[in-house]
Chains A and B, each alone.
Chain A
Amino acid sequence: DAGITQSPRHKVTETGTPVTLRCHQTENHRYMYWYRQDPGHGLRLIHYSYGVKDTDKGEVSDGYSVSRSKTEDFLLTLESATSSQTSVYFCASRGAYMNTEAFFGQGTRLTVV
């Protein structure tokens, strides 16, 4: 299995506070992704990265920012957490070719109170 880890695995935070989730991969994968998973919505893309310092928005990017200063790390920041951002967040990575599958982290359960 690809080495991809997320931290923290669980977090409870208060409304209005900034939160950063970290994703680390050891496969030298080019692409990295942040998804959120909510009941009835499946996996929705927040942001993705196609290289160091190269990122693009997904379908639900409002209220989130990302950074990728190294190939192996992809950070997701909730600038000012809201209750609607309570969700399970998954990070994924995959190689440079579109025929490769993505490998997922274990997920981060974030609760905003």
Chain B
Amino acid sequence: AQKVTQAQTEISVVEKEDVTLDCVYETRDTTYYLFWYKQPPSGELVFLIRRNSFDEQNEISGRYSWNFQKSTSSFNFTITASQVVDSAVYFCALSEAGGGSTLGRLYFGRGTQLTVWP
């Protein structure tokens, strides 16, 4: 079973639209960490944000915001007023810290390809 599910394979929007990328995770650990990465067309993987399981506060950074909800095991990412430069593949990832056999593993979703048209 997938530990991290990104159900949206591709999303296309027009510039200045808001867009939300969904991420649903699965874990039995009470301590875990969630991450978002961006992979622009150039191919490198860029870290965007980290969230721990004890902190459900939403976070805003410029046009980016993240909504973490433990009740629904979701960690969604919203881009407000999207721009062409936001076009990229976005990955959600999970790291468990419960000390079991999965300690140290970093699980990624399949990614969402976001295309922003001018």
Contact B91 A42 (CB under 8 A): yes
Q: How far is the CA of A33 from the CA of B43 in the complex (A)?
A: 17
- The residue that A106 contacts in the complex, of B44, B107, B108, with Cβ under 8 A, is B44
Interface size class on chain A is: 20 to 34
| Chain B positions within 8 Å of A103 at CB level | 47
Q: How far is the CA of A41 from the CA of B97 in the complex (A)?
A: 25
Contact B44 A45 (CB under 8 A): no
| Chain A positions within 8 Å of B52 at CB level | 99
A104-B104 contact given A40-B110, A42-B110, A43-B91, CB 8 Å threshold: no
Q: How far is the CA of A31 from the CA of B105 in the complex (A)?
A: 9
Q: How far is the CA of A82 from the CA of B117 in the complex (A)?
A: 38
- Is B45's CB within 8 Å of the partner chain A? yes
Least Cβ–Cβ distance between A98 and chain B, in angstroms:
4
- The residue that B105 contacts in the complex, of A45, A90, A107, with Cβ under 8 A, is A45
Contact B106 A99 (CB under 8 A): no
Q: In the complex, which residue of chain B has the Cβ closest to the Cβ of A99?
A: B33
Q: Which chain A residues have a beta carbon within 8 Å of chain B's beta carbons?
A: 31, 33, 35, 40-45, 48, 50, 56, 58, 88, 90, 92, 94, 98-104, 106-107
Q: In the complex, which residue of chain A has the Cβ closest to the Cβ of B43?
A: A107
- The residue that A58 contacts in the complex, of B31, B50, B105, with Cβ under 8 A, is B105
- The residue that B111 contacts in the complex, of A42, A92, A101, A102, with Cβ under 8 A, is A42
Q: In the complex, which residue of chain B has the Cβ closest to the Cβ of A43?
A: B108
- The residue that A101 contacts in the complex, of B35, B105, B109, with Cβ under 8 A, is B35
Interface residues of B in 62-118 (CB under 8 A from A): 91, 93, 95-97, 103-111
| Chain A positions within 8 Å of B105 at CB level | 45, 48, 58
